[in-house]
């Protein structure tokens, strides 16, 4: 089946710093979503981005489907950005999502 790799596995930032999270996947996809899981376990939809670039406030994402990767950018990080960021992909022809193992982000004041 499709493999999803996220990097880095862990990231520690000072408040105000910028960061880039990466998601590589091993096969063609028709769905790609970025989620933020907060300390209470809630999965927050950040982006639905099977291709192209989107921005939402301090967050933006880019997916290059032909090269099988996606990037999530966090600018001017805040302590509330802490948590785990997951990339999940939907293999072409399937409705299900396959999740990466996540990037754990800690933003310190």
User: Which positions touch other proteins (CB under 8 A)?
Assistant: 1, 4, 30-31, 33, 35, 40-43, 45, 48, 50, 86, 88, 90, 95-102
67: tokens are 């090269």
CB atoms near residue 107 (< 10 Å)? 20
Tokens 């927050």 belong to 44
C-beta closer to other proteins: residue 21 or 88: 88
Minimal distance, residue 26 CB to other proteins, in Å: 15
Alpha carbon 88 to its chain centroid, in Å, reads 8
C-beta closer to other proteins: residue 9 or 16: 9
């Amino acid at each position: 089946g499709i493999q999803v790799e996220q990097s880095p596995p862990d990231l520690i930032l000072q408040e105000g710093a910028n960061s880039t999270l990466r998601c590589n996947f091993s096969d063609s996809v028709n769905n790609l979503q970025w989620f933020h899981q907060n300390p209470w376990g809630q999965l927050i939809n950040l982006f639905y981005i099977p291709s192209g670039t989107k921005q939402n406030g301090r967050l933006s994402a880019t997916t290059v489907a032909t090269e099988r990767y996606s990037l999530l950018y966090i600018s001017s990080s805040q302590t509330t950005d802490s948590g785990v960021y997951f990339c999940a992909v939907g293999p072409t022809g399937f409705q299900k999502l396959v999740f990466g193992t996540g990037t754990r982000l800690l933003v310190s004041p």
